């Protein structure tokens, strides 16, 4: 079986901790999927995403969505974790209590 490639998607540990992003940007696949998703997300069409993220091309958005659909369970877990307000409050509290 051939491994899928996503021409506009990359990972770079120095950018957003190495999560999948649109190459040459700081726009994550996770955020594009969040715009697109029904239910947990905003339920936007590709055209609406392109209006909101005008710096992206249609090819970049479609590549991000292809990556999302090919890795949907992993990406959905990441989206849920990223949207976990209780988790981020705990993280903020830990950071606030660290010595300067």
Q: What is the CATH number of the domain that holds 85?
A: 1.10.10.10
Model pTM score: 0.78
pLDDT at 21: 96
| Residue 26 belongs to a domain | yes
- Does residue 4 fall inside a structural domain? no
Give me the domain span that covers residue 22. 9-96
**Structural domains of the chain, count:** 1
Instruction: Give me the average pLDDT of each 10-residue run along the chain (100 residues).
Output: 82 92 95 80 87 96 96 88 78 75
- Please report the DSSP string for the chain in residue order: -PPP--TTEE--TTSGGG--EETTSS-BHHHHHHHH-SSSS----HHHHHHHTTTS-HHHHHHHHHHHHHTHHHHHHHHHHHT-HHHHHHHHHHHHTS--
Q: Is there a domain that residue 20 lies in?
A: yes
Q: Is residue 67 part of a domain?
A: yes
Structure tokens at 97: 């209590």
- 1 in a structural domain: no
* Residue 2 resides in a domain: no
The pLDDT of residue 1 is 57
In a domain, 14, yes or no: yes
> Quick check: is 70 in a domain?
yes
């Amino acid at each position: 079986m051939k491994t899928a490639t996503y021409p506009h998607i990359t990972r770079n540990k120095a950018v957003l901790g190495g999560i999948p992003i649109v190459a040459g940007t700081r726009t994550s696949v996770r955020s594009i999927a969040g715009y697109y998703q029904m239910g947990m997300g905003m339920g936007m069409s590709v055209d609406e995403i392109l209006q909101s993220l005008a710096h992206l091309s249609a090819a970049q958005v479609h590549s991000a969505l292809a990556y999302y659909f090919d890795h949907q369970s992993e990406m959905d877990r990441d989206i849920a974790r990223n949207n976990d307000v209780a988790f981020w409050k705990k993280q903020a509290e830990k950071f606030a209590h660290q010595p300067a």
